[in-house]
Chain A
Amino acid sequence: MKKYSIFQNARYIYSKGKTVDKTYTIRMIIMILLQLIIPIVATFIPAVVVYLITSNVQISEFIIVMSIVVGGYTLFTFLNTLMSHNLTFDNTILRTKTFWQDLSNKTLVTGYENVESEEGKQKLNLAIGCVSSNWVGIELHLKRFPTFIVSLIGLIMFSVYIFSINVWIIVLLFVMTVINIGLNIYARKYELSKMDILNKNRTKLRYYQEESNKLVNGKDIRIYNLEDWFYRGIKTFTRKYSSNVVKQKLFYFLPNLSDSFFTILRDILAYSILVMMVINGEISIPEFTFMIGIITGFSVWLQQISSSHGELKEANISINNYRNYMAIDDLNSGNKQTDISNLLHESVEVKFDQLSFTYPSASSPTIKNFNLHIKKGERIAIVGINGAGKTTIAKLLSGLYKPTTGDIYIDGISIQDFDRVDYYKLVGSIFQDVNIFAFTIAQAISGQSTDEIDYDLLWKVVEKAGLKEKCDRLPEKVETYLTQEINENGIMLSGGEMQKVMLARVLYKNAPIVILDEPTAALDPIAEQELYLQYKELTKDKISIFISHRLASTQFCDRIVFVEDGEIQEIGTHKELLKNNGKYAYMFDIQSQYYKENIGEEGEHNEQENI
């Protein structure tokens, strides 16, 4: 993982300042200058007053000088308030419009494995943590970096001035600074070393808190009396987390404590030296006022440096996470520039060649030496027990995963030669989990924005999928929103209707390869039957893969592939495989025996022998 320093990250972030507007950087610099001048003028004013009065100037002269000094101060503070408030807002824009946007745009298209793998999810979560609020990562940096710069310059300026008054005071202040920084670093180190355990306890507590608030858990909690289990968890982890927090704060208490001791020492030293100097006539009373102001001001800078530096460090960890995520290879570009337009509307053939696939975190392959040649227009069913690798094959053919070894050829072209985003255009799928996007029905079916949708085609597929009647009844027709997330007039579709939307989506896309992964698991028999009948229509002139536990569905397919442990065990037509009396036949038998007219004892025995 690459680590960038605070200044490197500042450059990275401010280089994108232009997205807010052209004047962003200039305004930022002016604000920094104002914030440097204001405290100096503020210290200067009382000294000027003391000077003017002790030197008995004319009233008119007094008024003129004061008008200039206080007038200037007023102008500076006025501008500073105006600018810093607007800049705070611009920081939010910069974060959301640039950094958040970039992150979400990348996530929308990056290789599927980057978002699906545990590692990818973690990296993404860390990156989101950098842009998710005003007080983290990018925006925290934007808030604190100017403060840090201002205090640093201020501290140096004040040091030089104090040095000219008395060496001992600056030595003391220097020691104070060093100890403050040292203790803060120490506290930070401690915090980092315990961060993991703190976060873990916090996450665990949050798990208990959130799970008890979730509706989906409500039934099981009540039926299985799980309330006590939650109480216990909440109690235990509140205790653990609290004691972690106390320890952590203790370490930050130390530099603060040291600072206050040094402040007392500083006061003793500064006041006694300066008072003596006044008594001895070495400095004037106005100088005394100004010097006391500057010496006290030194601590303010120091405090600001130490707190803003701490926060910048914290932001930096998060920003580095963000930059590392942004630097992940999207894995989207193909080995060659392959034009897919020729393949889009024709029937193709697919060849799995010695295909193997191992999940990044797994030790053994999920798919092993998978060889299959799917001819033009052929319907293939893939069956097998849970965990046999059926869905993985579907995902490989969808282009969502890249083969570990071996290859898939589409009309003789290796899948790796396509640009991935292009390749997706070749595939239409229905997955087991139905995901609802809260867009309009038309948008959900087409995946396009309203001005791009081909409405003739859309209505045609809506009719084919059996949704026309439903859509006609809706006042907004296909422009009706799904769910009420975006539009209050949005509607909820039933499970069966959603299934039809999924079907319409495949029809609209009209891609040469169709993949259906257990689309019927939650359907009642009649809806299931409907889907089977539509299946033929859906896959006309296309290559299709149907994955299902309902072996009835396989009978619509030209060939059936029985998969076990990622390998093809049997292959053939339904009849062939039944005749074969192998594993497929066994599976079909146990599923069908309850559907036969009589549940015979012999039947059961037969199957037992087949195991």
Chain B
Amino acid sequence: MNKKTFSQIRNVIKMSNQADKSFFIIVLLRSLASASLPFVSIIYSALLIDGFIQGLPKDALMLYVIKLIVISGILLLLRVILTFIVDQKSQIINLLLGNEISKKTLNLDYQQLESQRMKNMLSSADQGVNSNGGLGSFVLQIGFSIQQAISGIYSFILMIGLFQIKQIGNPSTTEQFFNSPIVGIIIIGLIIISLINNFISLSQQNKIQYETFIHNVKVNRIFQYIANIAFNYKLAKDIRIYNMDKLIIKEKSKYQEKYIGIFRTMSKKVSKKLAVITLVNNVVVYVAYILIGIKALLGITTVGAVLRLVYAVTAFNTSITQFATHFNVALLQTKYLQLYKDYLDEPTEMYKGTIPIEKRDDNNYLIEFKNVSFHYPNSEEMILKDFSIKLTIGERLAIVGPNGAGKTTMIKLICRLYDPTKGEILLNGVNINKYKYEEYVKLFAVVFQDFKLFSATIKNNISFTAQETDETIKEYLYQAGLKDMVENLEDGIDTYLYTDFAEKGIEVSGGEAQKIAIARALYKDSPFVILDEPTSALDPVSEYEIYTKFDELVKNKTSIYISHRMASCRFCNNIIVIENGSVTQHGNHETLLQDKEGLYYTMWETQSQYYKEEV
């Protein structure tokens, strides 16, 4: 145990105080009450027994009884009340940490969020808070170890009685031996041996458990993965049609056997160690009974003292061991909670800029990619290579290209979800990272390919602050082609999406969801509207509606349109073709078609051949 461990523990206690000021102190008070209780009864019981033997008068005996009952009564009530408070607080405190994690994630840069490192940190922090009992359990463990420490101190004080020497006239050798500190020294010596044994066993046990855990992390993860395949209804079709059940069961059993095998070995080892600890502890108790009992038989000490001293010996031995165990668990938990702290302390990397965005009623914003190259942090493969384009105001730009060409990546760069690896992106001539980030993102309304709607009312999905009137919101929904749907809903735009928050919540189809996402983007009223494959889930009629209304939808805004439907290029006055991360063609539909060698022509021809008058 070094300085660092203590500062870690202090940190975690600080963490607890930040989340809930009184939790830790209440746990401490409870420890005090719980530790004191058994000693009160053992001390007074011993006094009573000695009193009986000495033939004390009834009043004196009853005074012991009254003291016993009053003191333990107060402690008992105190413990019950404190436990009530501790119980609720320990259940709630972990939630509070979970909240902090979520808040932190919301504030991460997107590229951090997507990095494997942060994903791992997030899942470790989450596990640190939830799977291992978290902060609540840590404080409880600290409470237990303090309880044991107090109990250890009580018993140590009682054990001083071991060294009490009675004045005996003419002692025999036996009496001399038992009336000397040697008895005390033997017992203390045994306690030390037993404690050493306990500590060695416990640390070995921890080691075994830790090694098993490390050894098993992978097997466990794989086992969980395969076991959960069965419970994922989305996979149910594939499993049934392709008769995959036998394969899954077989693979699962394979890993399960491994898993059980590893744990069985561990369990056998650990249980032996635990049993040996019990054995050694009992030997100490046995020796204490014999030695102190003989003292009493010799009249050197009283019967009550025997009970009291043996209790003290037992209590001392167990409380020191228990102290170590609980403290160890708490220490282990500090490691997990450290993961939580690490996550919260992780700085955000992206430069957030300072220049305010100039408010322009004419939406006169110009975005330019200047020799931009980009690769994702976790791979060396360049997604965009020396990429340059200009997006002028009021322009309809279509981006086409094969799957994986870098189209979506380009959008992510425009929105500053990522910063370019090389080159720069300019807004009105200034590098976009110089602008205030919060203001900058307001310029863009994007419907991503994998857009998400949330479990809230339709209204709140369009506007999460819901400051606008219902009529305004409806207007946007109608524009996106949802008039029929909204009008058919009993609660209109106050209907919840999904069933997380309302039993009457509705499941929307992929097409309807896409339209809601489009309405949300329009509502944002940003000068740039970006649609990434917005019609892939739509049937031809809805697709047509979106196409024909596109002009009206985006008005005088700059729009970028990514689609595999080549038809969508027809209403864009500017088309770029991206292949392998570079712009290979640039122009309008007619000019691009003239280049018969170009990809645009090939793509257009393959798709349109089926729609020409005669096939």
Contact = CB atoms under 8 A, between A and B. Distances in A.
Contacts of B524: 224
A82 B402 contact: no
B1 interface: no
A558 interface: no
Contacts of B235: 435, 437
B244 A437 contact: yes
A386 to B, nearest CB: 4
B464 A226 contact: yes
B98 to A, nearest CB: 5
B543 A591 contact: yes
Nearest to A235: B99
Contact of A128 (B84, B231, B247, B279): B231
A549 B539 contact: yes
Interface string A195-224: 000000001110111111101111111111
Contact of A447 (B87, B247, B260): B247
B508 to A, nearest CB: 10
B279 A74 contact: yes
A94 B58 CA distance: 59
A104 B231 contact: yes
A275 B110 CA distance: 75
Interface string A99-121: 01101110111001001101011
A79 B279 CA distance: 10
A85 B270 contact: yes
Contact of B306 (A53, A205, A213): A53
Contacts of B417: 218-219, 222
Interface residues of B, number: 159
B278 A53 contact: no
Interface string A472-515: 00000000000001100000001110000000010001000000
B119 interface: yes
A437 B238 contact: yes
Given A108-B248, A220-B452, A437-B229, A85 B95 contact: no
B203 interface: no
Given A216-B452, A387-B509, A521 B537 contact: yes
Contacts of B452: 216-217, 220
B214 interface: no
A270 to B, nearest CB: 10
A220 B92 contact: no
Could you say which of A73, A245, A257, A525 has the most chain B C-beta atoms within 10 Å of its C-beta? A525
Interface stretch (B22-30, B161-169, B288-296): B288-296
A449 B250 contact: yes
Contact of A494 (B52, B122, B294, B403): B403
Interface in B291-349: 293-294, 296-297, 303, 306-307, 310
Interface in A436-479: 437-439, 443, 447-449
A551 B404 contact: no
A521 B245 CA distance: 28
Given A104-B231, A495-B403, A228 B282 contact: no
B242 to A, nearest CB: 4
Interface stretch (B182-190, B442-450, B553-561): B442-450
Given A212-B105, A526-B603, A549-B538, A443 B114 contact: no
Interface stretch (A22-30, A63-71, A151-159, A334-342): A63-71
Contact of A386 (B69, B83, B248, B511): B511
A230 B105 CA distance: 11
Contacts of B541: 385, 587, 590
Nearest to A485: B225
Contact of B282 (A77, A231, A437, A590): A77
A213 B102 contact: yes
A292 B267 CA distance: 38
B416 to A, nearest CB: 9
12 contacts: A70-B282, A70-B286, A71-B286, A101-B253, A115-B233, A204-B500, A398-B237, A427-B241, A449-B246, A524-B603, A525-B606, A594-B566
Across the A-B interface, the 4 shortest Cβ-Cβ residue pairs: A594-B567, A592-B611, A552-B610, A85-B271
